Every structure is written in C-alpha cells, then in structure tokens.
Structure 1
Amino acid sequence: MRNVFLYSTIVIFLQINFAFGQNKQILSNQDKIMVNPFIQEYHQAYSLGDDKQKNDVRRIAVDHLGKVWAGTKAGLFTLDQVSGEWKAMLDSANQGPVYDLFVDSKGIVWIAAWNGLFKADNYKTTKIDITDMPVAAISENAGKLTIIGIKSIWKKESESWTKEELPYSRVVRRLIPDTNDGYYLATGKGLYHITQSKAKLFQNAEELLSDNLFGLAYSKNNELWIGGLGGVTVYKDDERIKSYTPKEGLPNVWVRSIEKAPDGTMWVGTDLGIARYTGNNWSIRHSRRWLLSDKVRDIAFDKNGTAWVATANGVSAIKNKKMTLLQKADYYYNIMQKRHVRKPYFVEKCNLTIPGDTTIWTPRDDDNDGQYTSMYLVMESYRYAVTKNPEAKENATKAFEALKFLQTITETESFVARTVVPSSWTRMADANRTYSEREWAEKIINEAREKRIENQWILSKDKKWYWKRGTSSDEITGHMYGYLFYYDLVADKKEKKRVREHI
C-alpha cells in the first residue's frame, strides 16, 4: 500500500512538472504589460461610541467646509476626521432625536429635531423660535427655506417666517424642490407635488410601487427617483417612466434613501446595504466589509467623492484612493504576515475575538494547514521568480520547511500530519473526543467515508508539539502543488536534492 501511495504521488508530480514545463516558453515570451494606477474603494468606520442611541444614525450631511454632521436618536454630532472623535453640537437639554439635516446655499446647517428647529452657523448652534414641536423635513428652493413639521409648514424668505397648516400627510420623510418654485414630499401616504396653484397626490399602484415612501433624489438626467417599500419608482415631468425592483437588480425592497454621487451614479440605501446604479449595471456595498450596519438611513457626499453613510449602528465612510496592483498586493501581504502566519510558519485563518474587529485575533488550526501553506509557497515562488526579492526566497524556504515538518514530526518514513500546534495550546478546532455508538451512527449516516479517529492529536517526543492524524489525499495533492513550484522557481541545486528526497 505504501508503494502504491508513493508511486501515485510521483506520477502526479511528474505530470504537473511536464505541464508546467510545456508552458515555460510561453510565459517567458509574453510581452510585459503596463498597468496604470486604479481607483480603489475602501471602508472606514466611525462609531459614535458604545451608546446604542448615539449610533442609531438617522441623517448625515457634509457642510461647505467638509465637516460631517450626524443626526442620531441621541442628538446632533460633528466628526473630527483626524481623531475620529464625535462632538455633541447641542446642550444636554436639547439633545435628542434628529429627523433631518440640511445645508443651505449659504453654508448654514439646519437641524430638524424632536423639539423644534435649530441652525448651526459657523459651528454655533441656536434654536429658531418658531415651534417646540417635532420638525420632520427641511429644504430650499431659490433661496427660500421650507420647514415641515407634523402639523405646520414654515417658509423663510430673507429674515421673515410665514406659517400655514399642513394639509397633507403628517408622516413626512423627505422634502426636495422641483424645477420651479414648488417641491415634492415623500410621505407615508404617497408622493405630493406642491406648486403655487395646487397639490397633486400620487398614491395608487399605477403611479407608485407603494405609497410608503422614504427617499427622493434627482438623477443626472433630471429624473426624480422615489424610494420606498417595493423599490424605486422613477418620474419625469410627473409621469412614471420606469421602476427598479429586485426583478431589475435591486437587492432589497426596503428603500430608505437615495442620493446622486458626483459621478452621476445613483446610490440607493436599503435594509440590505447600498445598491449603486450607473445606468447600465448594479453594484452592492453591504456587510461589515463596507458598512457598520446593512440598515442604511441616509447618504451624503463630500468634495473628494467620499460617501458618508448613516446606518443603524454608526457612520460608515466609503472612500477611494489611487493604487497600483503592487500597492494592493503589499496591503494584503502585510495583513497575511501579521495575522495569518503562525509557528512553525503555517499560513491559515485566524479567529477574531470580536466579530469585525481586526485589531485583536488569535491563531487557530485547520485540517487544511498543509494545503493553505502550500498555496502560499507557490505565491512566494512566483514572487521570487519575477522579482528575485531575497525576502520571497527566504519565506518560500520557510514554507517548504514547515510542510516538510508535517512529515518529520510523525517520525515515520512517509506519513504526513494534517497540522501541528504548540503543546501549550488548550483549544483546537477539532479536539480529541470519544463517540458513543449512537453518536457514531449519526456521524456516518451522513458522512459514510468518515474515519473514526478519536485520539487525533499525538504529543511529539520532545513534548513541544501536538500533531494531527487523518491526513486526506487532497492534502497530499496540495503539498505536491507547492513542491513543484518551489523546485522549479526557487530551489538551487542543493535544495532541489532535498525536495526530491522528501518526496
């Protein structure tokens, strides 16, 4: 049996070696390709601390000087982007739920709050003495400010205010000007178009996907995008021209906000992250890779093109920068070396102590440690072949020695361990255990090829390591994959002899 195994591995090695040899000339004859720098997006999180109400962000705005404002369930805050700290912009008596933020044409920030209307001019926040009732939405059209509360509408022209009763739905969520002197309202009971002469309500199924609306924004073609339950309805001159639902590529039916990016892309905030539409294709930004929470409430852009996103668990910034492929490779390479390499030079996964927090981690073991490390060995072999970087050669040699150690630790002629861990470890991914006959029956009824190995971890003779039994054939294939490229691209004459002898 041992001879059959040895013969099989040699055949696999020779076949792969032949295939690679056939391609050597092709690879060496290829012309060099110049790759220009590209724009790389990345996520930066800005939590407002441990307070859940502070992190319950409802609105986000960027003022004329680039300052980021967040309206949350707990109140109003601004961000110091250098320190990452948030500063309260209202005193404790006035801090509370914020429902809208608006930056007017003069750069003044207006705040729709639980107890009325506030404005921040030159970062000094004052209350406007027009109401103590909740204010829902704010906008500006031709220099005239419109404020909507739960019962009234206020309009500001120059320094004077006028007030009238709100004759429409009191569940107002967004306010946006039209192309004349009117405005649109997104409400819980449909879309209102308010002009000087009349108010028109769009509400039925032929007019909207649903009347439960949340977001409004204009596209680069001056089409009005209306977001709500069901998706996005698009209007042009008060006529419905199209809609976007999951059938058209929208990932979620709960649309909470819409914003046009500086490049004209439409960003749609949903309960499953952000969907972006270029006019031809959709892309998605969701999960902790991109957002502190998938529940997106609002989006605002700064002059650098950064998207500031209000979520149910803090503020996320989706930023961009120019990178080269080498810089991107270095970025991931540094992460790998920092978090994913453990003694005796295995490359594998790690455990995060806190989900999403990559500053604290612990190493772990895996049944595929040999194969993962072999893939890393191939990468370093290619890196050395192209760059002749001595670090790549050194790391490739370390990886080969780690793979070789998986065989020598067993103190047998040919058996290879799945993995090894320091004997000081007290927690393994698949620890030793015993099975009752009933438990074993449950195991093999679903996995007929399962091997009953209860004492999987063996203490080495020097008592420094535990090595694991039960190595599978695909692990051996992974080893051979790494040996091939190390042999062809890195090893010198002396090292080639060691590789051959090991195999």
Structure 2
Amino acid sequence: MKTNFSAFSLVLIIGLISLDSFGQSGSGGSYIDRPFIQEYSIVHAKSLSNPNQYSLASNQHGSVQLVEDHQLLKPFGGQFQHWGTLVKDLSYLPMADKQVQAIASYQGEFIYLDNKAVFSNAWAGSLYLEHRLPAAYIIDGGNDFDFLISDGKQVQYVNRDGKELILPAPNKIIAIEFDPVQNGFWVLSSEKLFLFDPQEKNLTEELSTPKMTSLSFHPEQNRLIVGTESGYFTYDIKAKIASELHAKLPWDEINVVEAQGDKIWFGTSKGAFVLLPNGDSHYYYLERWLPGEEVLDIAFGNGEVYLLTDQGLGTVVQTEMTLAEKAKLFDRYTKKNHLRHGFNASLKLAEPGKLETGVLDDSDNDGLWTSMYLASQGFRYAMTQDPEAMDQIRQSLLAMERLFTINPVAGFPSRSFERSGYIEKLSDPERWQHAPNPEWDWKSTTSSDEAIGHMFVYAVLAELVEDDWVKNKSIELMDTLMTHILDHDLYLIDFDGKPTQWGKWNPEYVNQFPIQVGDRKLNSSNIISMLQTAYHFTGKERFKEKAFELMEKEGYLENLMRPMSIIGQAGDGSDSYSQMLSESWNHSDDEMYFLGYWGLYKYAFNEELKANYKTAILDHWNAERPEKDGLWNIFGALVQPEKFDLNEAIWFLQEHPIDLINWNVKNSHRKDIQALEPNFRRQSISQVLSPSETRIARHNANRFNLDGNGNGRSVYSAGDIWLLPYWMGRYLKVIQ
C-alpha cells in the first residue's frame, strides 16, 4: 500500500554526532570524509495468523500501522539489536469495533477501509465515504479525496460527491495503484492490467500477461513496474510497450513492488531488495534485517523503509553518518561490550540475538584479536591524542603482557587466560593449563598467527604512541618473544618442552614444503618481518644476523618473494601434510601476511630489500583485490599510496553493517550472481557481495562465502574488523 512519511530519530538512540564534512575518493590519494547512508534494522516480531489478509501504512507523524485479519496493530518495544513485537493499536477506542480490512496512507494521513466505508481519524474525522462492497480489502486514493476499492471481484469508485460507481472485474483483482500523471487508477489481476478513468467511468484493458503479482507507478519515468512470479517488467504508459522480463535479481518471486523516488523496492518470498539508479541492488534477507522470509508489503517513512513479513515487521533505518561518526560508535560499543580482562572478545549468546544473555567469550586468538584492536587504538591515539584511547592502550597492553607472565615458560605468550575453575566451560578445554597462581588458568599451544599479531602491535605502539611506559613495555615484550624464538632454534616451545603445532620458523620445517605450498612463503615472510622489527627497536645484532642468515643461506628471501601465482596445491607426489596444508587457499594466511608486512616493509634493513619487499607485497595485494577487503587495501596504501584501491576500502567501511550479531545469512540461491567453477582461492562468484549482505566475518575469513549459519548466537567485535582499517587509514592519511 502507498505510504508517505514517518520518523524514528534513532540517531539519538545510538548516540551519533553530526559533522560538517565533504569528500571524494579515487584510485589513490585520500578520501575526505563525508556523510553517507548507514542502514540498520529494527525488528518487531509476530507471526501473522492470516498472512493473506494484511496491509501496511505509515503517516507523516512517524506512526506505523498494519491490518492483519481485521486487527489494527502497531510496533512496540523494538530498538537497534533489541527485537520488539506487534501489539493491538488501541489509540482510538472506536477502532476496536471496526471491521478494518485495509489501511493506506493518503496525503500523509492514515485512511481505513472497513466493511461499510472509507474513513479516517484525520481531518477531524470528516472523511467518511460509504461503499457497497462489504468484503473490499484493496484501496488506493486519487487526487481529490476519491478512492477506488475492490473485493477482488468488483471495483467501486467513491468520492465526496457521492457519485459512486461499481463495475464488475473481468479477472480477480489483486492490486490498485493511482497514477497522478494519467489521473487514473491502474487495476491489476494476475493475467491482465486495466486502467480505470474516473472521468470516463470505465475500465480499459491495457495489457495481458500471465503470472503478474504486483505493480507500482514510477512517476519519474512515467512507467509502471510490474512484479511477476519470476521477475519484473516495466510498462511504458505512453508507448504502451512492455519491456522484457528482468529476472537477474537477488530473488525473482515478487510479492510487492513500490517505487521510492529513483529507487524501486521489491518484496519477495525470500526477503526484499532495492534497485538503485546506477543498476546496483541491496538485498535484505533473514534476521539481520527481517523477522521472516516472506515480504508481503512495503511502506516508506522519513528515513525508514518498512517491510512487512509473515513473521512481523522489519524497519530498515537509513541515517546519515560519516566514517568518523561510525568509528565513534564502534569505539564506544567495543569498549562497553567487548573487553574481557582487556582482551578484544566476542559475546556468546545463550539465546539468539538477545544481547542481555551474552557472555564474554575466550578465544584461541585472544592475543591476535587484541593485537589488532590495540593497534587500532595506537593509530587512533597518534591521530587524536584522545585520553580514552590511551586508557584503552594501557588496559589492553597489560593483558598482552600478562599472556607472558601468567605461565611458567620464559618468553612464551599464552593464547589466553581466565580465572581458575572454568576450564570445562571454556573453548578447547584440553588446551588449558593451571597457572602457578592458583587463581588463574592459561591456554597453551600458541600459534604463529598469535606471534605475528604480537610483533605487529608492539611495533605500532613503540613507533607511534608518545608515552614512555607504552613504548618501553612494547619493546620489552617484542624482545621477550623474539629472544624465546631464537633461543629455541626458531620454534615456540610450549610447557611440555615441544614446539607448538604452528609456531615453527626453523628452515628444517619451512623448507620441507614444496615451493607451491603457501606455508613456505608465509613463514619465511613472517619471521623476517619479526626479526627486522625486533632489531629496529632493540638494536640487538643477533636479530639482524639471524634474518640475513635465513635470507642468504636458507633461501627465505627467495621464499617470500615467490609470486602468488605459483602458490597452489602440493600435488599427488607430495607428503600428506603438504597436501593437507594446500587443499585450498587459507584466508587466515592473508591476515598473517599483511600484519607482517608492517614490519617487513617499514623496518627493512636496506633500500634494496625494501624494494623487493614492495614487489612481494603488491603481488599479494593484487591477488587479494577481488575480495575488496578494507584492511588489505589500507595495507596497500602503506607501500603504494599513489595507487591502491581507495574506493573499495571506503566501500568496505561504509557498507559494513553496524549490527555485528552473527545472524544466519544466505545468498547461494540468488539469481543476480555469477557462479564460478571451484578454484584454489575459493572465489565462488565473479563479484564479491556487500558486507551488509554477507556473514559477519573477521579478516581471516573468505569474503566469497555466500552462506553462514551463525544462528544469532554470537556478537563479533568491531575492534579488529572495522576499527583497525579505519584508524590505520587515518594514520596513513588516506582517510582525512
């Protein structure tokens, strides 16, 4: 049904600020921050008892109402990330006794259709037009308080002059749409399209096409948009020509279509989507956006789009926001909800989507995720001198330090720690050990991705944060870690005296792999980066000497320079371990590479090496470009600020949802994606989808994964996912 205005001023609820900023972007250079449209959803859940009798509308005062099985309902209690419900609207006492069969918006006010009349509570209740179709349930309004209604079998024209007209419908009517340009009403059945002329008082057949379901008048194009069971087509009213069927859509079984300015919204049996003027689409499906799959009706408000489903109402809120405002939101939200002993942590939810049931979760990678968040705060402090950022740096750096001191192994960083007595309730209980302090337990088996995260953040803090304790502590910790690794022949040695499964950089281990196995290139790249970083900040020659020994005698420079095009499967003749490691591309390796590139490039021993490293980094970056990952593109600016994918980096930051609940997502059914043959890099489709349409994922995940079964049981932190690329971009001055 047609709607006009509504307003939820949710900018106030989520505590945003307004900045006067403008911007532009290009393939290199910098982006000057400007407002963009940030979307999020507010959900009101209620299973509709009779989804075949429904209608939805909003008014200019910000109210939303819907009719379902003669009941007048309104949303109640919902806000961002907290679902509400639909309740009876008891605002007007007499409405409870009305047999309301449809609701619509007319001149910004609600109008109702019951078994006796078209009426409204606006205009002092003066609008009351009786009709003679007691079962009517379809309505739309004309130019001058005139209306066309239908019970599916007949149409009746009513107006304030009392000159009613009833005509039999040649086919079962399913929709009516007023056309202000032609000053007529379009009347749709599943097989035919008619035009009702109020002046001539006749119903004229315009088009005959099977399986039509819905229509909307597009005033800017003077065309009709007609939905069908398998796509949509447009109808040029002046030329009386229908276009070909458009079926390359997120989903093609159309229930409802509504034009909104130069955008066209579609409700389908699998969610909703909007077509933008440039041909792009945005897809809204499953719980991040909607309480149900089947979208039955659409209405528009002032900055909101209301999507009625068989399981309730989803409100897509569209608010202006800058990246700086989004960062402020995420900075506060992370600090408030995602810090466990200073670690950057996820929330584990006992009930789907219910944040009040959340427990801060431990992780294999507490050190890594915290390194990435802590680095973001280092960049933030370097750019803003914000005391809140310094406070967080100190808190999280203390957590990183305690990873070393809570266990009895000198120089060995734990994966995580927690108070004693909860091992069986933590992740991977078999990896946990009792600490010398009986109040605490610690997690063993630390891996190489943890180690590179440690070295990355210590370098960022030591270089950028003007605070003696932070600098000295960061250098002390990097020295501690690298001394342990060198003292143990380039291995991380656990409590049992054995190397951990992945903490291995020794040539005997690294060079055992065929040259096409990624771990040979990755481990070589990481250890050289770590040694360079340690030497740069400590000045200890042993780190430099070991790095040159590995590059000149053990082939590590050749390993790390090996082009990405060579990396692939080990082959049938290789050992089973090499084959296991190279079945397909491991996207966690990307995270390890790029975090290591900070130290590899910035702290190169000489200019010749730096030029070689730049070649290797750009080769990897080029391989990653199809993913449009914001962090990888910002790292591209580290080595080549004049030419990197700035537009794609900003796209990632703007498009990323602010709802980080790990809801179910599904895209594999879509008709608008081009599937690729299975390949080593696991790129499933030709163009990556928007982060707003895919699962919540860290940078170590494959952004081409189309589906995800998160079940709303966890909430990820923006600390590593969003804040790191944003604040690193600010520091590198590619985001102004």
TM-score range, shorter chain: 0.7 to 0.9
Superposition pairs for residues 183-194 of structure 1, below 5 Å?
183-194=185-196
> How far 1:38 moved relative to its partner?
0.3
Q: Distance between the aligned counterparts of 1:316 and 1:80, measured in 2?
A: 12
SS of the equivalent of 2:277 reads coil
Instruction: Please tell me the residue identity of whatever aligns with 2:294.
Output: K
Q: Distance between the aligned counterparts of 1:187 and 1:340, measured in 2?
A: 53
> What residue in structure 1 maps to residue 335 of structure 2?
337
> What residue in structure 1 maps to residue 442 of structure 2?
467
Please say if residues 54 and 75 of structure 1, whose CA atoms lie closer than 8 Å, have aligned partners that are also in contact: no
Please say if residues 454 and 478 of structure 2, whose CA atoms lie closer than 8 Å, have aligned partners that are also in contact: no
- Residue number among 430, 433, 454 corresponding to 1:479 in the alignment: 454
> What residue in structure 1 maps to residue 222 of structure 2?
222
Q: Distance between the aligned counterparts of 1:44 and 1:282, measured in 2?
A: 20
- Counterparts in 2 of 1:158 and 1:273: CA distance versus 1, 3 Å: same
Q: Distance between the aligned counterparts of 1:186 and 1:133, measured in 2?
A: 20
> What residue in structure 2 maps to residue 252 of structure 1?
251
> How far 1:157 moved relative to its partner?
2.7
1:86-110 deviations in Å (ceiling 9; x for gaps): 62356545467x4x422335x6633
SS of the equivalent of 2:251 reads coil
Q: Distance between the aligned counterparts of 1:82 and 1:292, measured in 2?
A: 12
> How far 1:230 moved relative to its partner?
1.0
Instruction: Please tell me the residue identity of whatever aligns with 1:240.
Output: A
Superposition pairs for residues 28-427 of structure 1, below 5 Å?
35-45=32-42, 47=44, 52-53=48-49, 58-73=54-69, 75-78=71-74, 87-88=89-90, 91-94=95-98, 98=101, 100-105=102-107, 109-112=110-113, 115=115, 117-122=117-122, 130-131=131-132, 133-143=134-144, 144-160=146-162, 162-177=164-179, 179-195=181-197, 196=200, 199-200=204-205, 202-204=207-209, 210-237=210-237, 238-246=240-248, 250-262=249-261, 264-287=262-285, 288-302=287-301, 304-343=302-341, 345-425=342-422
Q: Distance between the aligned counterparts of 2:316 and 2:438, measured in 1?
A: 49
Please say if residues 192 and 200 of structure 1, whose CA atoms lie closer than 8 Å, have aligned partners that are also in contact: yes
Q: Distance between the aligned counterparts of 1:112 and 1:317, measured in 2?
A: 24
Please say if residues 295 and 308 of structure 2, whose CA atoms lie closer than 8 Å, have aligned partners that are also in contact: yes
1:2-38 deviations in Å (ceiling 9; x for gaps): xxxxxxxxxxxxxxxxxxxxxxxxxxxxx99683540
Q: Distance between the aligned counterparts of 2:413 and 2:69, measured in 1?
A: 58
> What residue in structure 1 maps to residue 631 of structure 2?
none
> How far 1:479 moved relative to its partner?
1.9
| Structure number with higher helix proportion | 2
Please say if residues 150 and 166 of structure 1, whose CA atoms lie closer than 8 Å, have aligned partners that are also in contact: no
> How far 1:52 moved relative to its partner?
4.7
Please say if residues 213 and 229 of structure 2, whose CA atoms lie closer than 8 Å, have aligned partners that are also in contact: yes
- Counterparts in 2 of 1:496 and 1:279: CA distance versus 1, 3 Å: closer
> How far 1:171 moved relative to its partner?
4.5
1:68-117 deviations in Å (ceiling 9; x for gaps): 33223462235689999862356545467x4x422335x6633345x565
Q: Distance between the aligned counterparts of 1:310 and 1:457, measured in 2?
A: 48
Q: Distance between the aligned counterparts of 2:382 and 2:348, measured in 1?
A: 33
Q: Distance between the aligned counterparts of 1:356 and 1:120, measured in 2?
A: 38
Please say if residues 151 and 165 of structure 1, whose CA atoms lie closer than 8 Å, have aligned partners that are also in contact: no
- Counterparts in 2 of 1:458 and 1:305: CA distance versus 1, 3 Å: closer
SS of the equivalent of 1:135 reads coil
Bigger mean CA deviation after superposition, 226-235 or 146-155: 146-155
SS of the equivalent of 1:332 reads helix
Bigger mean CA deviation after superposition, 326-335 or 165-174: 165-174
> How far 1:125 moved relative to its partner?
11
- Counterparts in 2 of 1:211 and 1:157: CA distance versus 1, 3 Å: same
Please say if residues 420 and 440 of structure 2, whose CA atoms lie closer than 8 Å, have aligned partners that are also in contact: yes
Structure 2, unaligned stretches of length 5 or more?
1-27, 482-736
1:282-304 deviations in Å (ceiling 9; x for gaps): 221414333333432222223x3
Bigger mean CA deviation after superposition, 165-174 or 144-153: 165-174
Instruction: Please tell me the residue identity of whatever aligns with 2:140.
Output: S
Determine if the alignment matches structure 1 residue 499 to structure 2 residue 477: yes
Please say if residues 171 and 189 of structure 2, whose CA atoms lie closer than 8 Å, have aligned partners that are also in contact: yes
> What residue in structure 2 maps to residue 443 of structure 1?
none
1:389-444 deviations in Å (ceiling 9; x for gaps): 23322322322221222222221113332222222536645343xxxxxxxxxxxx
Q: What RMSD, in angstroms, separates the aligned Cα atoms of the two structures?
A: 3.5
Q: Distance between the aligned counterparts of 2:431 and 2:193, measured in 1?
A: 66
Q: Distance between the aligned counterparts of 1:488 and 1:228, measured in 2?
A: 60
Superposition pairs for residues 432-451 of structure 1, below 5 Å?
432=429
> What residue in structure 2 maps to residue 13 of structure 1?
none
Please say if residues 272 and 283 of structure 2, whose CA atoms lie closer than 8 Å, have aligned partners that are also in contact: yes
Question: TM-score with structure 1 length normalisation?
Answer: 0.75
- Counterparts in 2 of 1:51 and 1:283: CA distance versus 1, 3 Å: closer
Q: Distance between the aligned counterparts of 1:409 and 1:393, measured in 2?
A: 24
Q: Distance between the aligned counterparts of 2:420 and 2:335, measured in 1?
A: 23
Please say if residues 178 and 184 of structure 1, whose CA atoms lie closer than 8 Å, have aligned partners that are also in contact: no
Please say if residues 230 and 252 of structure 2, whose CA atoms lie closer than 8 Å, have aligned partners that are also in contact: yes
Q: Distance between the aligned counterparts of 1:74 and 1:357, measured in 2?
A: 31
> What residue in structure 2 maps to residue 458 of structure 1?
433
- Counterparts in 2 of 1:160 and 1:497: CA distance versus 1, 3 Å: closer
Q: Distance between the aligned counterparts of 1:42 and 1:420, measured in 2?
A: 37
SS of the equivalent of 1:400 reads helix
Q: Distance between the aligned counterparts of 2:257 and 2:444, measured in 1?
A: 55
Instruction: Please tell me the residue identity of whatever aligns with 2:172.
Output: R
Instruction: Please tell me the residue identity of whatever aligns with 2:300.
Output: F
Q: Distance between the aligned counterparts of 2:372 and 2:126, measured in 1?
A: 58
Instruction: Please tell me the residue identity of whatever aligns with 2:375.
Output: V
Question: TM-score with structure 2 length normalisation?
Answer: 0.53
> How far 1:351 moved relative to its partner?
1.5
1:419-477 deviations in Å (ceiling 9; x for gaps): 22222536645343xxxxxxxxxxxxxxxxxxxxxx32222232322322222222222
Q: Distance between the aligned counterparts of 2:408 and 2:132, measured in 1?
A: 83
Q: Distance between the aligned counterparts of 1:463 and 1:180, measured in 2?
A: 82
SS of the equivalent of 1:121 reads coil
- Counterparts in 2 of 1:56 and 1:317: CA distance versus 1, 3 Å: farther
Higher relative CO (Cα under 8 Å, sequence separation at least 6) belongs to 2
- Counterparts in 2 of 1:112 and 1:255: CA distance versus 1, 3 Å: farther
> How far 1:189 moved relative to its partner?
3.1
Number of paired residues? 435
- Counterparts in 2 of 1:116 and 1:309: CA distance versus 1, 3 Å: farther
| Structure number with higher strand proportion | 1
Q: Distance between the aligned counterparts of 2:343 and 2:189, measured in 1?
A: 57
Bigger mean CA deviation after superposition, 138-147 or 172-181: 172-181
Instruction: Please tell me the residue identity of whatever aligns with 1:213.
Output: T
Between the aligned residues of both structures, percent identity stands at: 21
SS of the equivalent of 1:160 reads coil
